[in-house]
Structure 1
Amino acid sequence: MLVLARKAEESIQLGDDIVIKVISIDKGVVKLGIDAPKDVSIIRTELLEDVKDSNVASSKEIDNTLLTQLSSIIKK
């Protein structure tokens, strides 16, 4: 992992077409601006983790439902 220190209004260039700029720093909160082509997905990591956790929970519910249905069929 590359760790860089940047001040407000300073930027980081990624490749030829992505720029990350520090917009402001206030009370421990850093606001970033990201300039990237429209075909580049920019998603907050915590949202990806929430979706992944939700998908895992959903698949477990489906598995449990299927097991319950199969169990009732076998009992008949």
Structure 2
Amino acid sequence: MTLYLIPATLVFAIALRTLMRDVTASKADVETWICFTVAALLWPLTLPAILYKKYFANLTGPTNLLPAQPKRVNAL
């Protein structure tokens, strides 16, 4: 049981840290906490996905998630 709870706690801590950094997320929303609980319980699936994303984010550096704004040309 301990071998299951340690990685589950790790996944929950990573997800909680991400939630606390997100200024747009509602921390009082019940659905958010249900999602975190499910992610922690399903850690054999979610932990490799989290680590994969973090690994490739470090390789490519910071990315801009906003689409590039087209340049406006003043028409005469």
TM-score when scaled to structure 2? 0.29
Question: Structure with the greater relative contact order (CA < 8 A, sep ≥ 6): 1 or 2?
Answer: 2
TM-score when scaled to structure 1? 0.29
**Which one has a bigger Cα radius of gyration?**
1
Which has more helix, going by share of residues? 2
